[in-house]
Amino acid sequence: METERAEFSISELAREFDITPRAIRFYEDQGLLAPKRDGQRRIYTPRDRTRLKLTLRAKRLGLSLTEARDIIDIYEGSRVYLNAFEGNGCPGASVGVRCAAGVACNEINRNIAEDSAGQVTAGSAVLLQSAGTLVASRFSMRGNQGAHALRFVSDEGGYFELFTCLVAENQASDRLILATPYSDQSHFTVSGCTIANNAIANDPVLFATTNFVELNHAVIDQPGRQALGFTTAPGDVTVHYVLANDISTLPSAADVVQGSPMFEDATAHDYRLTRCSRGVDAAPADAGTAPDLSGRARSVDLVSVPNGFGAQDLGAYEIQTGDTGEAIFCASFDSP
């Protein structure tokens, strides 16, 4: 495993690889390195160090810098952004195509990790590897089979961030979502998601060894399963506005509540909260909040439901004022 230091100076890298600082600056000019700046001082990350190491190796093999850069970019893994910039003012990629009206979109359904004989393997429906990044918003995963629905394994840091998602009815022979990178500078975030009705062999539902862990605005309906496990330092774990069957492994907070949600019709794959479910009108709005998983407005304040910590519903969906009548008076985080 590479060194776990978070940053390096130009003189440290020059000594380690027996080259001059001028050579390192040249590789930077060629787009092979991208150090941060603190005034006039260059700060190199573990990513820069690895790229420099691979550049020098490619040079010894007689490759041009262009060839080296192409190979290194392949080594670094993919970066996948799914609806990642909705709600924050950033335009989507010019090659993006919106789904046609009435057509199912942004779904990762019915994938099976299996061998040529049709036997289920220890694979994952979504696997993020070396130096990869996944930032996904407003998507659903149903009916997948494997060791995990999503797995994050990286030796060069990266981001694994899920927003406004539904993960339901999957079969996992291990944990449902596993984030175990082999380096520092890694982030794991689950926000505004509904996780329910999955068959999971091992605790907990979510497990992370990343440097930073965030779980918020979420519904985790997995009876008999712990919600979250982590090896991250407690000061780098943020958990707020969560409704889960088992909160024994979560930080203690008034907005982290043990209980079961009530869905409209889970047997028909409808995981919208009912008006009288816990988690309705329970949290403050996220800054720059995108629409819910159905494309409808967030933070709709229902007259018949007293607010918990705000008007936004937990999980992937937001109840709208006109969905049902206003005659029934319901609770938010309290038992209905």
pLDDT tens digit sequence for 266-325: 999 999 999 999 999 999 987 546 789 998 999 999 988 889 999 999 999 999 987 754
Quote the percentage of the chain above a pLDDT of 70: 82
Measured CA to CA, the distance from residue 56 to residue 19 in angstroms comes to: 10
Expressed in percent and rounded to 5, the helix, strand and coil fractions of the chain are 15, 30, 55
Please report which confidence band the pLDDT of residue 116 belongs to, taking 50, 70 and 90 as the band edges: confident
> Quick one: average pLDDT of 167-187?
89
Question: Is residue 136 within 8 Å of 103, Cβ to Cβ?
Answer: no
| pLDDT-based confidence at residue 331 (cuts at 50, 70, 90) | low
Q: Which residue has the higher pLDDT, 87 or 237?
A: 237
CATH 3.40.50.740 corresponds to the domain 10-75: no
State the DSSP string of 32-51.
Answer: S---EEETTEEEB-HHHHHH
| Cβ-based burial of 200 (10 A; exposed 0-12, middle 13-18, buried ≥19) | buried
d(CA 66, CA 193): 42
